[in-house]
Amino acid sequence: MTFYQPVGNEIELFHAAANNGLPVLIKGPTGCGKTRFVRYMAEQLKRPVYTVACHDDLTAADLVGRHLIGPQGTYWQDGPLARAVREGGICYLDEVVEARKDTTVVLHPLADDRRELPIERTGELLTAAPGFMLVVSYNPGYQSLLKGMKPSTRQRFVSLRFDYPSEEIEQTIVLEESGCDRDLAKQLVSLATALRNLKDHDLEEAASTRLLIHTALLIGAGLPAAVACRAGMIEPLSDDEATVSSLMEVAYAVFGRPDETR
């Protein structure tokens, strides 16, 4: 069973959307639990979930399906979206704004009261089976004029805004996911909070909860805290050596310098 620590009313909202056949849009920064939440809700609803990591080359055909050649000749193979529509499952498109624009064409009729998926190559018009749910997510921090979601698409969804949890909740998540002790979880969350509050470093992303868990696991494997913090949390935030060095000073303030760390 997937562990998920709720931070608000997101579970109730998702249940209400699922019960009414409404699509859901989840907005939030990297590593704040969006994908974990969808997996958890799929288990709660007892529905299969098809997760697609969207990227620049993702096309509508990748979602809907395509003809393939096999030993017996040409045959049609459903893509993850078509499978979810037929089975009444959840199709989760992670970072949906990264996909090519032609994907919007197939999402729109599924994200309104039609709940239909036209498959042009086979001539089929699939009506979504009971239980089908379209869920998409993206990181508003990465939005640009070229990759933002159009209002006409965004307004078809029930929207949930995720962020990093409170310190108390985040400590519980780190403790549960890594198996570390409560004191270490508290130190790691304190470090993440300090890093997120920095204003003078041009970081694309803040330290995510995922990075805290990675760091806790490294420390649990016997690595010194300073080494684990650098590899698990600091280096993933920046490629600039000067920035990494500055961020490590924050880590030293929490855990002590190498000769002082355990």
199 token code pair: 């204003």
CA dihedral 20, 29, 90, 38 (to 10 degrees): -90
Q: 149-164 pLDDT, tens per residue?
A: 788 888 999 999 999 9
pLDDT of residue 151: 85
State yes or no: pLDDT of 261 exceeds 60: no
SS3 category, 70: strand
Give the number of other Cβ atoms within 10 Å of residue 80's Cβ: 19
Cα 164 to chain centroid, rounded = 12
Cα Rg, the chain, nearest whole Å: 21
pLDDT of residue 1: 87
Nearest 5°: the CA angle 150, 92, 35 is 105
State yes or no: pLDDT of 144 exceeds 80: no
Query: What pTM was estimated for this model as a whole?
Result: 0.88
- Between strands 116-119 and 124-127, the pairing is antiparallel
Q: 165-187 pLDDT, tens per residue?
A: 999 999 999 999 999 999 999 99
Q: 23-81 pLDDT, tens per residue?
A: 999 999 888 999 999 999 999 999 999 999 999 899 999 999 999 998 888 999 999 99
Q: 121-134 pLDDT, tens per residue?
A: 899 999 999 999 99
Question: Dihedral of CA 1/44/108/26: which sign?
Answer: negative
Angstrom CA distances, 120 to 54, 61, 66, stand at 22, 10, 10
pLDDT of residue 257: 86
SS3 category, 206: coil
How confident is residue 216, by pLDDT bands cut at 50, 70 and 90? Answer: very high
Mean pLDDT within 127-152 = 82
- Residues 234/244, Cβ–Cβ less than 8 Å: yes
pLDDT of residue 61: 92
pLDDT of residue 117: 95
